[in-house]
Amino acid sequence: MSKTTSLTRALAATFALAVGLALAGCGSKPAAQPADAHTDEHPDERGHAENAGEKHPDDDVASTSIPAAVAQSSGIRVEPVAAGVIADEHEVQGLLTPVEGRVAQVMARFPGPIRAVHAGVGDTVRAGQKLASIESNLSLTTYTVTSPLTGTVLQRAATVGAVAGEGMALFEVVDLSTLWVDLHIFGNDAGHITAGIPVTVTRLSDGVSIDTTLERILPATATVSQSTVARARIDNADGLWRPGAAVRARIVVDRADAALVVPLTALQTDAEGRDVVYVREQERYEQRSVTVAGRDAHNVEVTAGLTPGEQVVVAQSFLVKADIGKSTAAHAH
């Protein structure tokens, strides 16, 4: 055999061996590793991966973050939770009336034709001011009728050319600088209400209120309503309290100390109808379920859910409620 043929056969055998080893390597499997082996993972990274998906303790608490500047421009205001007073109040209806002794009926002294009228309904007049001129049928001279007090003309019967009879009421002048408020109290409530207790009177027309004190409980029962009448006096410097107008009033019968109170404006209800408030810590606002007890027109007593000094939203709490609602909906998706 020639040397060339032998060399060719040797090269072919070497190539076949190399191809076989390569194919064997492609089909082999790596040695199995223990289930807990992580040869290419750092221990800290492995621990982080295992804990992924765990909730932070605050994740289930409804809350939101509102930057301080946004909260201020939105009118969101907080106050610390503290002790306070809850008033035992009764809400009643009432009627404004002129104060006794401050109503004057201006009469004609002598019969005769009315020659001039100098004041009309709604005019403010001074004591001694001329209201009308009448020509007396007896003396055929003209005399004047004047106001006996400073006040407002509420009624006028005098007209030029009409004949005034002797003793005829020509004007009603009333001093409206102060008014009576006659409050009608029904049933057992009358036994709890005495002179000297505070009362807040509110106009129905615009909701303006004024604080005063009950001066007396009238001895007689109102015939039509069969109610007890409690009377207070109010200042009418602005002239907007009008005789004959109905009013609403809150009479404070008693006051009780409470360990924790918040304004009624702080109280909201959640989706389940529970009473909640919103507690601020820096720029985070957390919804907090609370247990409430007595309340009055301004405050509510909190018996569970808050601690003294916590900052509770007392103004624009509904804005915080809405923002938490949006945050909750976003997380749900």
pLDDT at 264: 92
**Three-state secondary-structure class, residue 331:** helix
Type and span of the H or E element at 11: helix 3-27
Q: Give 272's contacts (C-beta < 8 A, 6+ positions apart).
A: none
% of the chain residues with pLDDT over 90: 57
**Three-state secondary-structure class, residue 66:** coil
pLDDT at 237: 85
Mind listing the pLDDT tens digit for each residue in 197-256? 899 999 998 889 999 999 998 888 877 778 889 999 999 988 899 999 999 998 888 888
Looking at domain 103-174, does it have CATH number 2.40.50.100?
A: yes
pLDDT at 56 over 80: no
End-to-end CA distance of the chain: 84
Mind listing the pLDDT tens digit for each residue in 180-198? 999 998 877 777 788 888 9
Annotate 299-312 with b (16+ C-beta within 10 A) or e (fewer).
Answer: bbbbeebbeeebbb
Mind listing the pLDDT tens digit for each residue in 88-137? 888 889 999 999 999 999 999 999 999 999 999 999 999 999 999 999 99
Mind listing the pLDDT tens digit for each residue in 302-322? 999 999 999 999 998 999 999
Edge to edge, the sheet with strand 169-174 lists 103-107, 169-174, 151-156, 124-125
Distances (CA, A) of 89 to 59, 132, 174, 229, 249: 42, 49, 33, 17, 10
CATH number at 63-88+257-332: 2.40.420.20
- Confidence class for position 328, pLDDT limits 50, 70, 90: low
CATH 2.40.420.20 maps onto the chain at 63-88+257-332
Hey, what are 318's tokens?
Answer: 């509904």
Calpha distance 269→325 (Å, rounded)? 12
Calpha distance 299→89 (Å, rounded)? 12
Mind listing the pLDDT tens digit for each residue in 144-156? 999 999 999 999 9
Hey, what are 57's tokens?
Answer: 């303790």
Residue 117 · residue 158 · CB < 8 Å: yes
CATH 2.40.50.100 maps onto the chain at 103-174
CA dihedral 297, 298, 303, 308 (to 10 degrees): -170
